[in-house]
Chain A
Amino acid sequence: MSEKFHAELDLLKQDTIEMARFTRTLLADAVETLVHDDVTRAIEVKSRKREVQERTICLEDRAYQLIALYQPMARDMREIVCILKVIGAAERIGRYGKDIASITKHLADQPSFPREPPLVHMASLVAAMIDDVIDAFEQENLSLLDDLASRDDVVDELWHSIFRQTLTIMMEDPRTITRYTSYIMAARYLERSADHACKMAENIHYAIVGERIEIK
């Protein structure tokens, strides 16, 4: 019974990690569609939301079943709770990706960015944070989380910087307001995604060592 439970738990964890990687890719692809005004690809990226939703429900159901059937304790219980939290955070990241792809579609008839915006750099930082958090969970290697708080600080600073710069651009040229307001939204979604990565990391740390930490 115990072997069956642990086999199912391992499989659930692996599928959750796969789902988290799926939503991380969705987010990164969505930012690319926004930067390159690629509406066709944005439509495809947006359509992945259904799969995120289906995977979320399926994984959560499997977690609930494991709890109901086996009443896990200690590390097993912490791991299942962590999986549920990771599913929630990953689903949220996927939704942010879908929202950014929607912005791309919405801005199809708006003038393009004059040059590659700092959003690209921000997106790469956030994607790397999510990657490390997922890897830490998969490999149970907490050292990957060591500098997460300072990386989140960099993302926060970028968000504030983008906000200020964008305001200036919009004040100088009101025709850019539609595009840059959406752009601020996209930057905000990325900043929130980084926060979700930190939240996942806190839960992963608790699942592995049983001690709570706060990453901020």
Chain B
Amino acid sequence: MVNTMTLATPEPSGLNVKTYENPLIGDVCGDDVPLQPGETPSPVIHTENLNLWFGEAHILQDISIDIRQNRVTALIGPSGCGKSSLLRCFNRMNDLIDHTKITGEVTYDRENIYAPGTDVVLLRKKIGMVFQKPNPFPKSIYENVAYGPRVHGIRERCELDRIVEQSLRDAALWEEVCDRLHQSAMGLSGGQQQRLCIARTLAVGPDVILMDEPCSALDPIATAKIENLIEGLKQRYTVIIVTHNMQQAARVSDDTGFMYLGKLIEFGATTQIFEHPGEELTENYITGRFG
């Protein structure tokens, strides 16, 4: 199938939206049924023969991947291999780039996200994104976190207060900022700003969090805090992280995909990929023989 990019006004959602006790915060991952021994989590995002072009450039080639729920999936590979482009396919961020063509299928919660009529705003609420460089709004810490819920229609102050506190706690930032919520977010350190951006993403109640090199602009201490945070986040969210730091991928992820020249060369359990990968190309990249 071929999907042509359409950036039309959002139409009623084709997504399968779950109802929660609170519209934005809560058990966003559906039923809390514990996995049985040997049972593997179901894929929350699935791609089938995904191809992406930017103009003439064939960026992604026949990518088929299952992103499993409540796990951390790392995408690794040399610069320009397409890992960030793949990440952006998951919440249609590539729509914002001109002359984009995409074929194949990307499903979230079993719905094709490139189907006509998909509500892209809702999609990006359910599949949030954290970028390489912390990008807080030039507003207060409180307003940064409350911005998303407000856009989605929450007006009651007490409800906003609750969401802000919960999001900052989930992002392991509350203790550091609870006494200065109304000061400018620009006064926070780089690591704190990045955790604020994560809190901002959590505030709208996503299912999936995409992270594009979230620690590359941070020092080792701030990086360790984000990594600890990721470990905690996977209890409630599905996390997909693009990283150049292979040690980081090994530390934080459950599954790892290695990409090279637009292709997914190998995808599997992180322990397997980093101990004895099946593909020679993966092994050569991981051991620094190229890239």
Where chain B touches its partner, the secondary structure class is helix
Q: Tell me, in angstroms, the Cα distance from A35 to B25 when the chains sit together.
A: 81
**Which residues of A39-98 are within 8 A (CB) of B?**
71-78
- A73 and B287 contacting across the interface, CB-CB below 8 Å: yes
Q: Tell me, in angstroms, the Cα distance from A76 to B277 when the chains sit together.
A: 12
Given contacts A74-B275, A77-B275, A210-B275, contact A2 B289 (CB under 8 A): yes
- B247 and A74 contacting across the interface, CB-CB below 8 Å: no
- B289 and A74 contacting across the interface, CB-CB below 8 Å: no
B266-285 near A? 1/0 per residue, CB < 8 Å = 00000001111100001100
Q: Tell me, in angstroms, the Cα distance from A72 to B275 when the chains sit together.
A: 10
- B289 and A73 contacting across the interface, CB-CB below 8 Å: no
Q: Which B residues are CB-close (under 8 A) to A6? A: 288-289
Q: Tell me, in angstroms, the Cα distance from A2 to B290 when the chains sit together.
A: 9
Interface size of B by CB at 8 A reads 14
Interface size class of A (residues with CB under 8 A): 10 to 19
- A73 and B276 contacting across the interface, CB-CB below 8 Å: no
Residue of A nearest to B277 (CB): A74
Q: Which B residues are CB-close (under 8 A) to A75? A: 276, 283, 287
CB distance from B48 to the nearest CB of A (A): 29
Q: Which A residues are CB-close (under 8 A) to B282? A: 74
Q: Which B residues are CB-close (under 8 A) to A210? A: 275-277
Q: Which A residues are CB-close (under 8 A) to B277? A: 74, 210
Q: Which B residues are CB-close (under 8 A) to A2? A: 287-289
- B287 and A76 contacting across the interface, CB-CB below 8 Å: yes
Q: Tell me, in angstroms, the Cα distance from A119 to B72 when the chains sit together.
A: 58
Residue B246 interfacial (CB < 8 Å): yes
Residue A5 interfacial (CB < 8 Å): yes
Q: Tell me, in angstroms, the Cα distance from A48 to B288 when the chains sit together.
A: 39
CB distance from A85 to the nearest CB of B (A): 15
- A1 and B276 contacting across the interface, CB-CB below 8 Å: no
- B247 and A78 contacting across the interface, CB-CB below 8 Å: no
Residue B250 interfacial (CB < 8 Å): yes
Residue A146 interfacial (CB < 8 Å): no
Residue of A nearest to B288 (CB): A2
Residue of B nearest to A5 (CB): B288
Please, could you name 14 A-B residue pairs with CB atoms under 8 Å apart, sorted by A? A2-B289, A5-B288, A6-B288, A71-B247, A72-B287, A73-B246, A73-B247, A73-B250, A74-B275, A74-B283, A75-B276, A77-B275, A78-B275, A210-B276
Interface residues of A (CB under 8 A from B): 1-2, 5-6, 71-78, 210-211
Question: 9 closest Cβ contacts across the A-B interface?
Answer: A210-B276, A2-B288, A74-B286, A76-B287, A73-B286, A73-B274, A74-B283, A71-B247, A74-B287
Give 5 new A-B contacts, CB below 8 A, not counting A73-B287, A74-B287, A76-B287.
A2-B287, A6-B289, A71-B247, A72-B287, A77-B275
Interface residues of B (CB under 8 A from A): 246-247, 250, 273-277, 282-283, 286-289
